[in-house]
Amino acid sequence: MNKPKIAILIPIHNGLHFTIKCLEYLSLHIDQLGDDARNFKIIVIDDGSTDGSRAWISANYPETILLEGDGNLWWSGGINAGTRHAVDNLGCEFVLWWNNDIHTDGDYFRNLLLVAGENAPTTIVGSKIFFADQPDVIWSMGGIFDTRSGRKYTIGMHQKDAEQFNRLTLADWLPGMGTLIHRSVFEKIGYVNATEFPQYHGDSDFTFRAKLTGYRILVSPSLKIWNDKSNSGLHHYNSFRLLLKSLTDIKSNNNVGKDVLFYRKYSTSPMAYIALIHKYIYYIGGFFKWKILSLAGFKKIIPNRNK
């Protein structure tokens, strides 16, 4: 049986130390596949890095396809550029969304070929994602969005791995890492919405839109990856100025405008916005709670900004 050709799409902007580890992992695990290694093409979309990423990749992994942006592609535009190149120029049947801050085990890509062959093109397959610093704790088994109540969450987040997470799991949407998509999905519903969701929600918007169109969203527990969350998003670091910035910045998962836009597109009841209000009460309230507790001598562990 002919195995499908899969393009691994890695959008980057700086973070060379993450990219070095990422390409080392990919090279190690894909080379172990023997003849099946030729079924994979690695595409790095470098959106205007200034840390020497392009030169390093070209010198150390010349077989890696390197696409360049000017700093305005963001995640969604980078994924679209990589997808077009994979489909139009390489003839790939699938694309795999990847990040430079994730790693996997030695079985991942062998299992991926099996999963791609077992499922119809109408199924989008996601991975079982763990926290890198808590390797037995789930970060995501896919996401759920209730269009009426407005509840949007990732399945299994912060729960220790257990039997319930070792089964195929249906979801409403998937995150932008370890997600396998057949080329026909893009041909039917279009590409990632890089205009309205250039960074965050581009992944959930695309996969939820696919679900509404009739595609099955499935998470396979045989596809395990570990994500270093220190490289993700814009954190407030207990700074009031950064808190305000996080509510509007394109790099923030707490961008109010983008959240409201997602709910405006997909919610089916005004009640859904109550869940969104609760999210920001919890987020902003948590900031001030720790400000008050710090006066009493309690300290919150702050993510390392320079990691």
| pLDDT bracket for residue 2 (50, 70, 90) | confident
Looking at 133-147, 234-248, 267-281, which range is the least confident one?
234-248
The pLDDT of residue 258 is above 90: yes
In which residue are the tokens 């000017």 written? Answer: 70
Looking at 74-78, 187-191, 239-243, which range is the least confident one?
239-243
- Residue 307: predicted pLDDT: 36
Nearest residue to 229 via CA among 134, 129, 132, 111: 132
Q: Which domains, from first to last, does the chain contain? A: 6-228 (3.90.550.60), 240-295 (no CATH)
Mean pLDDT of the chain: 92
The pLDDT of residue 8 is above 50: yes
Looking at 61-75, 113-127, 213-227, 285-299, which range is the least confident one?
285-299
In which residue are the tokens 């894909």 written? Answer: 30
Evaluate if pTM is beyond 0.75. Answer: yes
The pLDDT of residue 236 is above 70: no
| pLDDT bracket for residue 244 (50, 70, 90) | confident
- Residue 38: predicted pLDDT: 94
The pLDDT of residue 233 is above 50: yes
The pLDDT of residue 205 is above 90: yes
* The two structure tokens encoding residue 117: 């062959």
Mean pLDDT of 243-265: 90
Q: CA dihedral defined by 25, 52, 237, 275, rounded to 10 degrees?
A: -60
The pLDDT of residue 305 is above 50: no
- Residue 306: predicted pLDDT: 39
The pLDDT of residue 261 is above 60: yes
Cα separation, 147 vs 289, whole angstroms: 30
Q: For residue 142, give Cα distances in angstroms to 128, 176, 179, 204.
A: 8, 10, 10, 10
| pLDDT bracket for residue 237 (50, 70, 90) | low
Print burial letters for 230-244: b (CB count within 10 Å at least 16), e (below 16): bbebbbbeeeeebbe
Q: How many CA atoms lie within 13 A of 248 on its CB side?
A: 4
| pLDDT bracket for residue 267 (50, 70, 90) | very high
Residues 159-180 have pLDDT tens digits of 999 999 999 999 999 999 999 9
- Residue 296: predicted pLDDT: 64
Residues 60-93 have pLDDT tens digits of 999 999 999 999 999 999 999 999 999 999 999 9
Q: Spell out the residues 6+ positions from residue 28 whose beta carbon is closer than 8 angstroms to its own.
A: none
Q: Report the SS3 class of residue 264.
A: helix
The pLDDT of residue 293 is above 70: no
| pLDDT bracket for residue 242 (50, 70, 90) | confident
- Residue 160: predicted pLDDT: 97
Q: ∠ CA(210), CA(86), CA(88), 5° rounding? A: 95
Pick the residue with more confidence: 2 or 183? 183
Class of residue 78 by CB neighbours under 10 A (exposed 0-12, middle 13-18, buried 19+)? buried
Cα separation, 145 vs 208, whole angstroms: 8
